Amino acid sequence: MTTPFSDYPDSFPSNSRPASRVYRKRLDCAACRSDTLAGEGMETLTVLPEEGLSVVAIAHDALPPGTDSEWTPVFAFPDDVVGAIPTGRVFVQATAGVEVAAAVEAAGYVIESTVPYAPNAAWIVAADDTVASALTNLTTLIASADFESVEPQMLRPSMPRESDRGKIR
């Protein structure tokens, strides 16, 4: 029997820099892509209305059956309270002299969009268009000499800057 989110990695680096922090899968909450699925009695931890996501307190083994496509795991740094939700998009910057499209395809991804001001950079998604594959294959991208920068896109609730906390607006 597979458990919910078993196709997602338990952890992955936040970027390709050597001292990058590591996101870890939280087992006590998940993100729901539909308000109607977030059931009665579930504590809403945060809402990202512009993305249509609600993060609710729910154990992974308590997810409603058959709703895997509507739920996404939440990842967090060890000292993180709320966490972040992966989009499946990865920003890459190819090493000088490397043809971006060929390197992306060889790594099992496809280009979603290019960056007009940076010809060696692109937003990419996994070839099978799943968030789980995009995250699972991050280590392949990071280990490749074809890319000098790799960073998964993660959605987080907006938080006031430390210097703005406590100020009346």
* Residue tagged 């002299």 (tokens): 97
Say if CB 28 and CB 42 are below 8 A apart: no
pTM metric for this prediction? 0.81
Q: Which residues pair with 155 in a beta bridge?
A: 85
pLDDT of residue 166: 44
Say which residue, 13 or 57, is predicted with more confidence. Answer: 13
Separation of alpha carbons 83 and 74, rounded Å: 6
Under DSSP, is residue 126 helix (H, G, I), strand (E, B) or coil? Answer: strand
The alpha helices in the chain, defined as continuous H runs, are 100-106, 131-136, 138-143
Q: Which CATH class is domain 87-155?
A: alpha beta
Residue given tokens 């890319």 in the structure block: 147
* pLDDT at res. 78: 87
- Per-domain boundaries in the chain: 19-80, 87-155
**Per-residue pLDDT reduced to its tens digit, 26-36:** 888 888 765 55
Of these ranges, 14-18, 60-64, 158-162, the one predicted with the greatest mean pLDDT is: 14-18
| Per-residue pLDDT tens digits for 107-161 | 999 999 999 999 899 999 999 999 999 999 999 999 999 999 999 999 877 655 5
DSSP 42: P
Q: How confident is the model at residue 168, as a pLDDT? A: 40
* pLDDT in the model for residue 60: 64
- d(C-alpha 80, C-alpha 55), whole Å: 14
Burial (CB count within 10 angstroms: exposed 0-12, middle 13-18, buried 19+), residue 36 = exposed
Distance (Å, rounded) from C-alpha 164 to C-alpha 161? Answer: 5
